[in-house]
Structure 1
Amino acid sequence: MKKLVSDQLVQYLENRGVEHIFGLCGHTNIAVLAALEKSSIKFVNVRHEQIAAHMADGYARAKKEAAVVLSHLGPGLTNAATGVANAALDSIPMVVIAGDVPSHFYGKHPHQEINLHADASQYEIYRPFVKRAWRVDRPDLFPEILEKAFQLAESGRPGPVLVSVPMDIFSKEVDVALFEKLNHHTKKLHKPSIDNETAKEIVEKLIKAENPLIYAGGGIMLADASKELKELAEHFDIPVAYTLMGKGAISDDHPLALGMTGFWGTKFVNDMCLHADLILALGTRFSEADCSSWEPEYTFNIPKTKLIHIDIDPNEIGRNYPTEIGIVADLKQALSVINRVARELFPNGKENKELKQKISQYKQEFRKQNEEHIRNDCYPMRPERILQEVREVLPRNAFITTDVGWNKNGVGQQFPVYEAGTIFTPGGYCTMGFGAPAALGVKIAHPDKVVVSLVGDGGFGQNPALLATAVEENIPVVWVIMNNHAFGTIAGLEKAHFDTTYGTVFRKDGKPYSPDYAAIAKAYGVEGVKVQAAAEFKPALQRAIEANKPFVIDVEMINVPTPTAGHWNIMDIYSPDRKVHHVSVD
């Protein structure tokens, strides 16, 4: 028996348990949309493909499974590219199904074809950042490619894949046996662990080290291994520092939690890493900003410090630092074995009250440094006060999405996160415009949780059309727009090094300019509040959360840099003979 490929595709996705698809229509994919109308799968319609990709990214992070994007060919696919690349650099599983030109028109340059270097080559655009890009050349091959696509997206180091499908193939018929055969194949692969001998070697090195340290990356969340990480840290009283993507791996109020490293880390945290004699790195790629541009005098001095590195991706082990023990394994599996062996060899563990007292004292002193700004009644508001009041209002298990600027750097440094996997940041690609649409995907995945997006006016202004989707789908996200009338972080950099803010601040007739985002929200049918005084912000946020509907809060913020004693060698590139970072911008 034969059926249309489009119908069988939707049936296949239903059988996989797919509940939502994010995308936008085009003449190449309407056969799939027609099939989806009769499906239990919800198609989430957007106004721009980048919104769809970022929504799918947030959904996949929160749901912990591959998200699906449906795209049109050509401009549809290129519009989505930034969001897909962002997912790739943060190791987020995603399957992009894109319509393509009709297979019988290869070489004729049909409507919207990308073919300057090869015929029917749109799938080549994604090759630098997806795990694999397929073009489906025959309808009978589509089922097998689809199965491979999901398996590859979710296995090993997760990431996006592309399946580019000529539109005529969606409308062809194939034998249902080709799809039914896939039902017998496992949908979840067993992940690699480590053996007892390797675990024993790691445990013995940890117990012998004078100043061991655990360095947690985003891989902890991808592996759902925060519980195992906490168990190991507590058994031996080992302090835990984390990357930007690793924030939340251990609760920020845990007595062994240090904080974020690198440029936006603090001197205390960087010094703890610098003076460690052994580091157990878990699920991190040692990225530049987290590692102070890999210069040994600031954060990590490896190989003077010995490194044990566990990661699911062998390409990351030894990439930036020489590794004494390198292990390719799933972190949850590996840490489970290490914890068992640790209890067997050292049932009483190890206690370090002095260390915990030292960490506690540092945290108290750090909080005191911000007290003046937190209590400041000035308007525009201090960013420190905005973050403090957001934290006071939100429940511990609320989800936060950020963008770039203070809402990423300041949140990483100053905003406590209490539960693993409740903060989503564009760490790898640092994409401006990620946070606002990603929050929609998170809320769809967890409709019972509070979801707040902390974004700048530059980031929110990238794609305000996401508000249309929020209204149509009734997705109650709260957006807090930290509005400094600028691309603030870059403005601070340019001012510090070149004494100008040209091209980085928003002005009209010499005065600060910003659209009225609260009014824009209302035009879309979303409730919006434009805060006029510092005392108004916290009540507005409380009201927004209680409203349980899409809500925009536009709050003006002074343009000051995230304070840091950290190092990033772009400063030396700009000003090789001066020691300057960012500065405030009036």
Structure 2
Amino acid sequence: MARMKGGEVIADVLIQEKVPYVFGICGHGNVGMLDALYDRQDKIKMISPRHEQTAGHMADAYYRVAHKPVATLTSCGPGSANMPMSLACAQADSSTFLAITANVPTSQFNRGPFQESYQHFQADFPSVVRPYVKRSFQPSRVDMLPTAMRQAMHLMTSGRPAPVNLDVPYNVFQEEDDVELPQPRLPGAAKRMGASPEDITQAARLVVKAARPLIFIGHGVTLSEASVELTELVDKLGIPVVMSPNGMGTLDMNHPLSLGFIGRNGTWAANQAGRHCDVLLTIGARFDDRSSSSWVPGYSWNIPPTKLVHVDIDPAEVGRNYDVELGVAADARTFLRQLLSELNGYSPMPTREGTEGWRRSIAEWKAEWEAHIAPNFGMDTSPMRPERVVGDVQRILPDDAVLVCDSGVHHNWFMQHWSARRPQRMLNSWGFSAMGFGVSGVLGAKLAAPDSPCVAVVGDGGFTMTPHVLCTAVEYDLPAVWVIWNNYAWGAIRDLQLGAFGGREIGTSFRNSDNGQPYNPDFAALAKSCGVDGIKVSRSSDFAGALEHAIASNKPYVIDLEVDPNVKPISVGTWRLPPLTPPEPAFGKPWRP
């Protein structure tokens, strides 16, 4: 045992667990922790962005790319109160980081000192983040830290990942005690639970006997790093695949059996396959409203009569929104390996009788969709058409590039038309849809993948929420690229408002009070004031070259890109917000058996 300060215990456990970064903001409450990090700068690096929300999004994105957790550090009161946004974003998308928050000294609990939350319980910050973390620990003595750190590090990466909070009173960082650090966790300590042999046998029989089988994959397949196994299964059986945005790239989306995203702004082929399949094997996806057309039969799914085999590491998600033919609580990669072993000797779908019509329908739906969308990708306009933006980004970025999308109307276009070639290379704020995730997260992505281009496509509204990321990029030499989708509006909400309320609009467009014309800052000039190169692009023919130059510069770079606000994403499903009248698809019609 060694005599150590609390801050030293925390820092040494992080180092022992090979945590490379702490993303944090200083405050009076965490100076003891900062002092411990000062002595360990050669083993763990402190990066200080200009806002706590950004620290959380950076940590979230780092995990999504590297699948290794990092930590955040914030002070008492408002510093930590800025964290719920990024914690909720990570929790909703099954990402994780250790959120170390400071609190008031234990000797002052329940006395209302500076920045204490004490209305219902002393030092009550853990109640603030309770809905958004897997667990909150509040050790009140130094000798409690080793156990809390061991449990926190294990919990946040075992099972379904989610953030964990370590709330540390001010004095605990600086007080000393004789402590023994926990043993380092062994690789694979977070066990990959598998399915029972009976469930594997039943799943295999359902899939191979289907006339119209389909696979639906989500973030669980990405998190389990099951791309190889998924691809082997698809090639072995010849079954088409639809996916949620956080599952994109686990199967190369240029694969002939990849149908893309399913849902309101998915592809026609994906939604048609979802409507018509007779057996659906779903792995690591939770059937949220946007990937299921708000669960309305006939728009994305018909479950039942479609028989659902639902596999998820979180038993609470199995059967949450649809009745299952077979529910399986299992890790995605373990399940796929078990299923592949069970399927030895089975024939692939293209050689089985009764599947010819399904294969023919899939090919026809893909061709119909491609014929409908293809002409818009080559149009040269000013401002740019959204399809041309997606197409140029796709053409310029190498396969190993990391694309980080923020929340906004631009995300709808990328969900519908982007083809991810590799896993962990398209990051989305999906479940919580937090503006700022893409703007800030690209910095964490760049730290996780320093040799890959990292490009954030963000809305003009979202960027102006956290523009201080430019300062952090300069301070820490992080050559990220921001493509600002400038349509002079909260575009997604403006379109919803115009469509649902008879053309009435308020509070969604950005306008100059003097003349009523569209207004935004000069984002390129704003970037330059921060020491970041920037350029404004208004015409399609100028964008690809600007993006190539931005990536080649290997410096932080901003492209202020004017995009036509009057071109709407193509709806092939629906999204219902009761009691508003739901929109019908702009392409195709729903189908019910």
TM range (shorter): over 0.9
- Alpha-carbon distance between aligned partners in 1 of 2:474 and 2:348, rounded to the nearest angstrom: 55
Identity %: 37
* More displaced stretch, 134-143 vs 210-219: 134-143
Tell whether the 8 Å contact from 2:133 to 2:163 is kept in structure 1 after alignment.
yes
* More displaced stretch, 242-251 vs 14-23: 242-251
Amino acid at match of 1:286: F
The aligned residue for residue 562 of structure 1 is: 569
Question: What is the CA-CA distance between 1:189 and the residue it aligns to?
Answer: 2.3
* More displaced stretch, 259-268 vs 122-131: 259-268
Question: What is the CA-CA distance between 1:65 and the residue it aligns to?
Answer: 2.0
After TM superposition, list the pairs within 5 Å mapping 1:160-179 onto structure 2: 160-177=163-180, 179=181
- Alpha-carbon distance between aligned partners in 2 of 1:348 and 1:106, rounded to the nearest angstrom: 65
The aligned residue for residue 516 of structure 2 is: 510
After TM superposition, list the pairs within 5 Å mapping 1:381-460 onto structure 2: 381-460=384-463
Question: What is the CA-CA distance between 1:313 and the residue it aligns to?
Answer: 0.2
After TM superposition, list the pairs within 5 Å mapping 1:526-565 onto structure 2: 526-559=532-565, 560-565=567-572
SS in 2 for 1:193: coil
Q: Deviations over 1:133-191 (max 9, x none)?
A: 121122211110111111110011110111100010000112132x1x43477772221
Q: Deviations over 1:100-123 (max 9, x none)?
A: 111100111111111222221011
The aligned residue for residue 254 of structure 2 is: 253
Amino acid at match of 2:505: T
Q: 1:101 aligns with which of 104, 116, 134?
A: 104
The aligned residue for residue 72 of structure 1 is: 75
After TM superposition, list the pairs within 5 Å mapping 1:94-243 onto structure 2: 94-177=97-180, 179=181, 181-183=182-184, 188-243=189-244
SS in 2 for 1:273: helix
Question: What is the CA-CA distance between 1:532 and the residue it aligns to?
Answer: 3.6
* More displaced stretch, 479-488 vs 26-35: 26-35
The aligned residue for residue 591 of structure 2 is: none
Shift in alpha-carbon separation, 1:580–1:447, aligned structure 2, 3 A: closer
Shift in alpha-carbon separation, 1:329–1:360, aligned structure 2, 3 A: same
TM-score, normalised via structure 1 length? 0.95
After TM superposition, list the pairs within 5 Å mapping 1:8-47 onto structure 2: 8-39=9-40, 40-47=43-50
Question: What is the CA-CA distance between 1:66 and the residue it aligns to?
Answer: 1.9
Question: What is the CA-CA distance between 1:523 and the residue it aligns to?
Answer: 0.8
Amino acid at match of 2:524: A
- Alpha-carbon distance between aligned partners in 2 of 1:382 and 1:358, rounded to the nearest angstrom: 30
Tell whether the 8 Å contact from 1:383 to 1:406 is kept in structure 2 after alignment.
no
Tell whether the 8 Å contact from 1:2 to 1:173 is kept in structure 2 after alignment.
yes
The yes-or-no answer on 1:472 pairing with 2:478 is: no
Structure 2: any 5+ residue segments left out of the alignment? 588-593
SS in 1 for 2:131: coil
Amino acid at match of 2:271: N
Question: What is the CA-CA distance between 1:350 and the residue it aligns to?
Answer: 4.8
Q: Deviations over 1:292-335 (max 9, x none)?
A: 11111211121211111110000001111111211111111110
SS in 1 for 2:500: helix
Tell whether the 8 Å contact from 1:312 to 1:328 is kept in structure 2 after alignment.
yes
SS in 2 for 1:481: strand
The yes-or-no answer on 1:500 pairing with 2:501 is: no
- Alpha-carbon distance between aligned partners in 2 of 1:209 and 1:349, rounded to the nearest angstrom: 9
The aligned residue for residue 309 of structure 1 is: 310
Shift in alpha-carbon separation, 1:27–1:315, aligned structure 2, 3 A: same
- Alpha-carbon distance between aligned partners in 1 of 2:576 and 2:19, rounded to the nearest angstrom: 44
Tell whether the 8 Å contact from 1:292 to 1:567 is kept in structure 2 after alignment.
yes
SS in 2 for 1:380: coil
The aligned residue for residue 51 of structure 1 is: 54
Q: Deviations over 1:462-486 (max 9, x none)?
A: 1000111111110111111110010
- Alpha-carbon distance between aligned partners in 2 of 1:485 and 1:66, rounded to the nearest angstrom: 36
SS in 2 for 1:28: helix
Question: What is the CA-CA distance between 1:373 and the residue it aligns to?
Answer: 2.4
- Alpha-carbon distance between aligned partners in 1 of 2:92 and 2:141, rounded to the nearest angstrom: 31
- Alpha-carbon distance between aligned partners in 2 of 1:294 and 1:364, rounded to the nearest angstrom: 26
Tell whether the 8 Å contact from 2:137 to 2:167 is kept in structure 1 after alignment.
yes
Question: What is the CA-CA distance between 1:362 and the residue it aligns to?
Answer: 3.6
SS in 1 for 2:121: coil
Tell whether the 8 Å contact from 2:350 to 2:356 is kept in structure 1 after alignment.
no
SS in 1 for 2:83: helix
After TM superposition, list the pairs within 5 Å mapping 1:75-90 onto structure 2: 75-90=78-93
Question: What is the CA-CA distance between 1:533 and the residue it aligns to?
Answer: 2.6
SS in 2 for 1:507: coil
Q: Deviations over 1:18-72 (max 9, x none)?
A: 1111110111111111221221111111110000000001001111022211111
Question: What is the CA-CA distance between 1:394 and the residue it aligns to?
Answer: 0.6
Question: What is the CA-CA distance between 1:355 and the residue it aligns to?
Answer: 5.0
Tell whether the 8 Å contact from 1:496 to 1:580 is kept in structure 2 after alignment.
no
Q: Deviations over 1:339-375 (max 9, x none)?
A: 01112x3266754676556545544443332333222
- Alpha-carbon distance between aligned partners in 1 of 2:464 and 2:455, rounded to the nearest angstrom: 17
SS in 2 for 1:512: coil
- Alpha-carbon distance between aligned partners in 2 of 1:360 and 1:473, rounded to the nearest angstrom: 49
Amino acid at match of 1:293: S
SS in 1 for 2:327: strand
The yes-or-no answer on 1:374 pairing with 2:377 is: yes
The aligned residue for residue 489 of structure 1 is: 492
- Alpha-carbon distance between aligned partners in 2 of 1:350 and 1:303, rounded to the nearest angstrom: 25
Tell whether the 8 Å contact from 2:443 to 2:480 is kept in structure 1 after alignment.
yes
Shift in alpha-carbon separation, 1:113–1:239, aligned structure 2, 3 A: same
Q: How many residues align?
A: 577
Q: Deviations over 1:172-229 (max 9, x none)?
A: 112132x1x4347777222111243332221111111111111101111011112111
* More displaced stretch, 489-498 vs 191-200: 191-200
- Alpha-carbon distance between aligned partners in 1 of 2:273 and 2:251, rounded to the nearest angstrom: 17
Tell whether the 8 Å contact from 2:259 to 2:267 is kept in structure 1 after alignment.
no
- Alpha-carbon distance between aligned partners in 2 of 1:264 and 1:325, rounded to the nearest angstrom: 28
Tell whether the 8 Å contact from 1:518 to 1:528 is kept in structure 2 after alignment.
yes
Shift in alpha-carbon separation, 1:184–1:162, aligned structure 2, 3 A: closer
Q: Deviations over 1:234-260 (max 9, x none)?
A: 111111111232222212111111111
- Alpha-carbon distance between aligned partners in 2 of 1:310 and 1:580, rounded to the nearest angstrom: 29
After TM superposition, list the pairs within 5 Å mapping 1:569-580 onto structure 2: 569-570=576-577, 573-575=579-581
After TM superposition, list the pairs within 5 Å mapping 1:229-308 onto structure 2: 229-308=230-309
SS in 2 for 1:128: helix
Question: What is the CA-CA distance between 1:579 and the residue it aligns to?
Answer: 5.2
